[in-house]
Amino acid sequence: MGSAGTVAELVQRQWGDHRPGLRSEDTVLSHHQVASGAAARAALLADLLPAGSEPHLGVLLDNTPEFALWLSAAALAGVAVAGINPTRRGAELARDILHIDCRVLVTERAHLSLLDGLDLPGVRVLVTDTDAYTELLAPYAGAKPGDTVLAEVGPGTRMLLYFTSGSTGAPKAAICSQGRLAAAGRSLVDHFGVRREDVHYICMPMFHGNAVIADWAPALVGGAAVALCRRFSASGFLDDVRAHGATYFTYVGRAVQYLLATPERPDDREHSLRLGFGTEAGAVDAARFRERFGVRLVEGYGSSEGGAAIQRTPDTPERAIGKAASRDDLAVVDPETGEERAAAVFDESGRLTNGADAIGELVNRGRTPFEGYWRNAAAEADRVHGGWYWTGDLFFRDADGFLYFAGRTDDRLRVDSENLAAAVIENILARWQDAAAVAVYAVPDPVAGDQVMAALAMREGTAFDPSAFAAFLGAQTDLGTKMAPRFVRIVPAMPVTATNKVHRVGLRREGFWCGGSVWWNGARGGYEAFGEEQLEALLGEFKAHGRDGLLPSISPMA
């Protein structure tokens, strides 16, 4: 089988292949039926998109067969798909939809309430699980792949517009072409030996790049089947894997921890899975996962925009991500000066001892496949400048060249696999009438990624009321499900730099075990005082997961 340069070619190859190709709950479609359904939707899209409009499609769906069918349809038609995040709310959700210039938005009844009251001029909404949708699609049932092409399809044709957060606050839509997506799938097929008889289990949300680029694309390239889980469920994971005969899955953030938290069963190893690929599981949980389920987890790193990637080799240390393909390409530098940071030094227990000198921003000084952001030249200039691609991620590098992930830069957070921008959360918290000043920043999560911490300076004559603050958060319709602060620090005055900017570096360095008044949303729900007892338990979690090296080396609650 020759190498395909576009996703459209890969979809066309499915025509005539009557092996099972798409599984979801009780639905099983052959590869041929997927290609046929995609062709029908491509033809419908051609009639729905107004002449002269951007060839863009918005998809606000859970992981349903319709999501996969519309991905394939868009590839055939030369249209780009923008996955819309259903955890966004109100004006922020409307902004995402309008920003990508889509005239057609595909959704389902489960998400219709999110669109209530939103002003979406010129956007046609299709609701997949309705009779009206079935009737609308029926006349196109005889379409074949290649019948309908809205724009000339080549390797450079836009395929994905996927949102990623940034320092400006508003999410940016990163561009991924058909050629890059096909190449990414081909790389994973070669790396993991994807076979035609494999079944790729997609349990991460398909509006994220992870599920499409690292799970759907290699299945398409390798001729493997895809099994969809509407939403990730730790309790239902193994039963679903068994039902579909899944052999491969991807994960992000805390998904692995959620699986490990399920009750152990005698049949935990009775399944077909052979590999999991993802980010942020951590070496400790990856080892526990393999011991319990008999499945190898491969940790990787690739920036959402495609600008940098790290390869894991057999000799990679347990807590490292891997190495760059060429040491000269990726570097860890001081974000202010661009000078390379010192090599990491570890003590006998493996703790990083020179974090202040070793941790810096990861940059790509070589050729980058980054293809830009949709209508955001300022963000592109911030991402690529001085001839380098700046990832916005913090790393350190040991003397042998292995790279270790250390977190996000100050105004970015990654919470439970969601990329968030501090400015967006600050704008929401600033509405609280009792707050005189607000700063939001990341503190490490004991398992993976970050947690949200907010510093609040109270208005004169007011005191922090945890119940009132929780009620305020609950009333904010645009506060996404991952945005609520886990920690709240009350400061007498907001610390600022000489230029009168909030001194986030200092706040982040002090973290959640700073002196003063700290509250947290603990296991019992609601905000409660964060004291010595809570701190000791949390530090135990960090140590158990091998992430205590990310904590500041200062005395607790000084």
Helix (H, G, I), strand (E, B) or coil at 4: coil
- Rounded CA separation 512/487 (Å): 7
Q: Within this chain, do residues 470 and 388 fall inside the same structural domain, yes or no?
A: no
Q: Within this chain, do residues 369 and 510 fall inside the same structural domain, yes or no?
A: no
Which residues, 6 or more positions from 88, have their beta carbon under 8 angstroms from its beta carbon? 96, 478, 480
Domain final position from 155, 177, 199: 177
Using CA atoms, how far residue 201 sits from 56, 69, 456, in Å, is 27, 16, 43
Q: Within this chain, do residues 379 and 512 fall inside the same structural domain, yes or no?
A: no
**Residue 405 amino acid letter:** F
Which residues, 6 or more positions from 516, have their beta carbon under 8 angstroms from its beta carbon? 489, 490, 491
Other Cβ atoms closer than 10 A to 108 = 18
- Rounded CA separation 31/43 (Å): 19
Best CA proximity match to 169, nearest among 96, 266, 71? 96
The pTM (predicted TM-score) of the whole model is 0.81
- Rounded CA separation 226/247 (Å): 10
Q: Within this chain, do residues 427 and 491 fall inside the same structural domain, yes or no?
A: yes
Q: Within this chain, do residues 493 and 369 fall inside the same structural domain, yes or no?
A: no
What's 421's domain CATH number? 3.30.300.30
Angle between helices 65-77 and 31-48 (to 10 degrees): 60
Best CA proximity match to 223, nearest among 4, 63, 10? 10
Helix (H, G, I), strand (E, B) or coil at 124: strand
Helix (H, G, I), strand (E, B) or coil at 248: strand
- Rounded CA separation 504/8 (Å): 46
Q: Within this chain, do residues 396 and 428 fall inside the same structural domain, yes or no?
A: no
Q: Considering the domain boundaries, does residue 329 fall inside one?
A: yes
CA quadruple 520, 521, 527, 529: dihedral sign: negative
Measured in whole angstroms, the distance separating CA 25 from the mean position of its chain's CA atoms is 24
- Helix, strand, coil percentages (3-state) for the chain, rounded to 5, are 30, 25, 45
- Rounded CA separation 1/3 (Å): 7
What's 340's domain CATH number? 2.30.38.10
Q: Within this chain, do residues 333 and 472 fall inside the same structural domain, yes or no?
A: no
Q: Over the stretch 384-397, which tens digit does the pLDDT of each residue have?
A: 999 999 998 888 89
Total domains in the chain come to 3
Other Cβ atoms closer than 10 A to 290 = 13
- Rounded CA separation 180/370 (Å): 9
**Where is 450: in which H helix or E strand?**
strand 450-458
Q: Considering the domain boundaries, does residue 291 fall inside one?
A: no
521: domain range? 412-550
Q: Considering the domain boundaries, does residue 285 fall inside one?
A: no
Q: Considering the domain boundaries, does residue 336 fall inside one?
A: yes
- Rounded CA separation 461/251 (Å): 47
Q: What is the pLDDT of residue 4?
A: 77
Q: Do residues 510 and 551 lie in contact, with contact meaning Cβ atoms separated by under 8 Å?
A: no
Q: Within this chain, do residues 487 and 344 fall inside the same structural domain, yes or no?
A: no
Q: What is the pLDDT of residue 326?
A: 67
Helix (H, G, I), strand (E, B) or coil at 125: strand
Domain final position from 124, 154, 177: 177
Q: Within this chain, do residues 61 and 164 fall inside the same structural domain, yes or no?
A: yes
Q: Over the stretch 280-339, which tens digit does the pLDDT of each residue have?
A: 777 778 888 999 999 999 988 887 788 888 878 889 988 788 988 666 789 999 988 999
What's 150's domain CATH number? 3.40.50.980
Q: Within this chain, do residues 445 and 396 fall inside the same structural domain, yes or no?
A: no
Q: What is the phi/psi pair of residue 188, to 5°?
A: -70, -35
Q: Over the stretch 486-535, which tens digit does the pLDDT of each residue have?
A: 999 999 988 876 444 677 878 888 888 887 799 999 766 789 999 888 88
Q: In what order do the strands lie in the sheet with 450-458?
A: 435-444, 450-458, 487-491, 517-521, 527-529
- Rounded CA separation 219/11 (Å): 11
| pLDDT by 10s per residue, the chain, length 558 | 457 799 999 999 999 999 999 999 999 999 999 999 999 999 999 999 999 999 999 999 999 999 999 999 999 999 999 999 998 889 999 999 999 999 999 999 999 999 999 999 999 999 999 999 999 999 999 999 988 777 789 999 999 999 875 444 578 999 999 999 999 999 999 999 999 999 999 999 999 888 999 999 999 999 999 999 999 999 999 999 999 999 999 998 778 878 988 899 999 999 999 999 998 777 778 888 999 999 999 988 887 788 888 878 889 988 788 988 666 789 999 988 999 999 999 877 676 778 778 888 999 998 888 999 999 999 999 899 999 999 988 888 999 999 988 766 656 678 887 767 677 788 789 889 898 888 899 899 998 889 999 999 998 899 999 999 999 999 988 788 888 999 999 999 888 764 446 778 788 888 888 877 999 997 667 899 998 888 899 999 998 988 887 876 544 443
Rg of the chain (C-alpha set) = 24
